[in-house]
Structure 1
Amino acid sequence: MKFNMKNGGFFIDLPYGRLHISRDSEGFGPYELMIASLAGCSGSILQTILEKMRLDIQDIQIEANAERNKKKANRIEKVSLHFKIMGTKLNKQKLTRAMELTKKNCGMVQSVLGSVDVEETFELIECQSG
């Protein structure tokens, strides 16, 4: 990957578009990208696992929160990912197993473990089948 400097940040051209990285309003901030990487990776892995389990999932929403240490370069110390899983005939035991597999198989989460505490929780929202 090749990053190019621009006024106030950097950019990279990717096959699907240009990604602007900046601390101002001209792009995504490094903090946002870090949290998005953890949430996006976990969500994608979870979605794949749930499909393989043949669970009837209609939607997944992820709420992400982070705790930062201002005394240590404002580093991220903890990220909480809360998954709202909507579907029909949801099985809590299967979802608990799916969450364990998600954490184990998400490369972004595995990359930060030991430096950042990643907490993953979920809630099931039963939808009417139709």
Structure 2
Amino acid sequence: MATNTVTTVWKENMLFESDNPSGETLSIDAPEEGIENKGLRPKALMLSSLAGCSGLDIVSLLKKMRAEVDDFKMIVHGELTDVHPKYYNKVVVEYHFYGSDLNENKINKAVNLSVETYCGVMEMFRQFADVTTEVYLHEQ
């Protein structure tokens, strides 16, 4: 079984620095309390992780399917609960594909494979949130 380890170090005030098994680092900061305002917010970072996980799957799958897209972006909306501990109880992942000759069937297949089979972060989110997805094709 694979294990990932990250180390997160308090830098100053509300600023932390966290590493990644790849060797890269990122800064984490608190919303209003963050004096420096130099880092990403922890809960929003979870939404970025969800998009990144699914996006990596989709790009790889589209390449294998030989489905060309000119551009691709994801917009993730997370609704937090009102009481503490606040967590995302509803999440919507929008997949936006841009191109002049988009193959709708292959794009939908790649998204579905990521959402239903490959994206582990998506599965983690399903444990605590109602997750829905939407696919948008933008012909150029």
| Structure number with higher relative contact order (C-alpha < 8 Å, ≥ 6 residues apart) | 1
Amino acid at match of 1:40: G
Which residue among 8, 24, 39 is the counterpart of 1:3? 8
Which residue among 100, 105, 115 is the counterpart of 2:112? 100
Aligned equivalents of 1:109, 1:65: Cα separation in 2: 14
* Count of aligned positions: 127
Q: 1:85 — aligned with what? A: 97
Q: Does 1:123 align with 2:136?
A: yes
TM-score (norm 2): 0.80
Aligned equivalents of 2:7, 2:24: Cα separation in 1: 14
Aligned equivalents of 2:112, 2:51: Cα separation in 1: 15
CA offset at residue 77 of structure 1?
0.7
Higher strand share: 1
Q: 1:12 — aligned with what? A: 18
Q: Does 1:29 align with 2:29?
A: no
Q: 1:67 — aligned with what? A: 79
Aligned equivalents of 2:57, 2:84: Cα separation in 1: 31
Question: Residue 56 of structure 1 contacts residue 88 of structure 1 at CA under 8 Å; is this kept in 2?
Answer: no
* Alignment gaps of 5+ in structure 2: 1-5
* Alignment gaps of 5+ in structure 1: none
Aligned equivalents of 1:114, 1:17: Cα separation in 2: 28
| SS state at 2:134 partner | strand
Cα pair distance change 1:52/1:88, threshold 3 Å: farther
Aligned equivalents of 2:62, 2:103: Cα separation in 1: 11
Identity of aligned residues (%): 28
Aligned equivalents of 2:24, 2:136: Cα separation in 1: 34
